[in-house]
Homo-oligomer: A and B are copies of this chain.
Amino acid sequence: MRMDPRFLRTFVTVARVESFSDAARELGYTQSAVSQHVAALESDLGTALLQRRPVAPTEAGERLLEHAHAILLRLDSARADVVRLAAGPPGRLTLGATPLAASLSVPAAVAAACAALPRLDVTVRVADRDTVAIGVATGALDAGLVDGIAAPGDGLRLPDTGLPVAAFAEAPLAVALPDGHPLAGRAGLRLEDLVDARWIEAPGVTAPLAEIAMLARAEGFRAALRYEGSDVGGLLALVAAGHGLALLPARVLAGAGVALVEPRLVHRTELLRGSEAGAALRL
């Protein structure tokens, strides 16, 4: 046997929807076919991958799931990459961007693109980081601008698609504080002085606290509040109202925040180029 990607796709779907029947409907197969796909994988690998009733991955299944996701993504990425190269530059440019990248970097990037290719029809689509990366990889987007927090010179942790990281910008970070906060007005802050502070978890805008904690090699960051929006304004309003702090690029705080001096972390923006048209973008 050979771990046919179709079987892997079926397996992943079954694990996601936790039902053979629903997976069959979603994929346009019969229950029987789905059952045979899973059985083929299990007999090939010599292990049970799923428990039935309720449907749940076994330990081996969990392992395979991770690999299967990566494999299927890379397979889609390969197809998109090659057909894009063959198709040549498209007339329209669909650009994906994370929210902060959209407000900080997209305007300049689009201006550069329009200057380089005057007759270019541009669409900007905002989504979270992985969605943008996957979109660029699979061809739904021609390019992507994603941002995140990283050590200076380090790349962002993105799903492995083999995409070239073509350009990037690094900018200083600052802590957003409410007016009258005891630390406001300081010249610079160290993150460790703020482990016991109230933070706002806003994964749609800035990096999750767990990721920041890992980068800072610190522990104990607690979220006082979770903000699921993806706009900076809403988050800043919560900070101003004293509900907690947030770590953001200094630029969006317009001088109102206090610079982060330790650990050395930066706000990093990366350009993921899918099609050649993405080359017209500059940061």
Whether B64 and A78, one on each chain, are in contact in the complex, defined by CB atoms closer than 8 angstroms, is yes
Q: Which residues of B contact A5 (CB under 8 A)?
A: 2-5
Whether A45 and B160, one on each chain, are in contact in the complex, defined by CB atoms closer than 8 angstroms, is no
Q: Which residues of B contact A6 (CB under 8 A)?
A: 2
The distance in angstroms between the C-alpha atoms of A45 and B87, with both chains bound, is: 11
- Asked if A270 CB lies within 8 Å of chain B CBs, one says no
Whether A78 and B46, one on each chain, are in contact in the complex, defined by CB atoms closer than 8 angstroms, is no
Whether B3 and A78, one on each chain, are in contact in the complex, defined by CB atoms closer than 8 angstroms, is yes
- Asked if A254 CB lies within 8 Å of chain B CBs, one says no
Q: Interface of chain A, helix or strand or loop or mixed?
A: helix
* Interface set, chain A 65-110, CB cutoff 8 A to B: 66-68, 70-71, 74-75, 77-79, 81-83, 85-86
Whether A67 and B45, one on each chain, are in contact in the complex, defined by CB atoms closer than 8 angstroms, is no
Q: Which residues of B contact A153 (CB under 8 A)?
A: 151, 217
- Asked if A55 CB lies within 8 Å of chain B CBs, one says no
* Interface set, chain A 29-77, CB cutoff 8 A to B: 45-47, 49, 59-60, 63-64, 66-68, 70-71, 74-75, 77
Shortest distance from the beta carbon of A72 to any chain B beta carbon, whole Å:
10
- Asked if A154 CB lies within 8 Å of chain B CBs, one says yes
Whether A64 and B45, one on each chain, are in contact in the complex, defined by CB atoms closer than 8 angstroms, is no
* Additional A-B contact list (14), CB under 8 Å, known A60-B82, A70-B74, A70-B162: A2-B5, A3-B78, A4-B4, A5-B5, A45-B82, A47-B82, A59-B85, A63-B81, A64-B78, A67-B74, A67-B75, A67-B82, A68-B78, A151-B154
Contact with B along A1-37 (1 / 0, CB 8 A): 0111110000000000000000000000000000000
Q: Which residues of B contact A67 (CB under 8 A)?
A: 74-75, 77-78, 81-82, 162
The distance in angstroms between the C-alpha atoms of A217 and B170, with both chains bound, is: 15
* Interface set, chain A 127-148, CB cutoff 8 A to B: none
Instruction: Known contacts A2-B6, A85-B59; decide if A74 and B71 are in contact (CB<8 Å).
Output: yes
- Look across to chain B and name the residue whose beta carbon is closest to the beta carbon of A86: B47
The distance in angstroms between the C-alpha atoms of A153 and B4, with both chains bound, is: 38
Instruction: Known contacts A5-B5, A86-B45; decide if A71 and B63 are in contact (CB<8 Å).
Output: no
Contact with B along A202-225 (1 / 0, CB 8 A): 000000000000000100000000
Whether A79 and B45, one on each chain, are in contact in the complex, defined by CB atoms closer than 8 angstroms, is yes
* Interface set, chain A 103-122, CB cutoff 8 A to B: none
The 3 closest A-B pairs by CB, nearest first: A67-B78, A47-B86, A160-B160
The distance in angstroms between the C-alpha atoms of A4 and B1, with both chains bound, is: 12
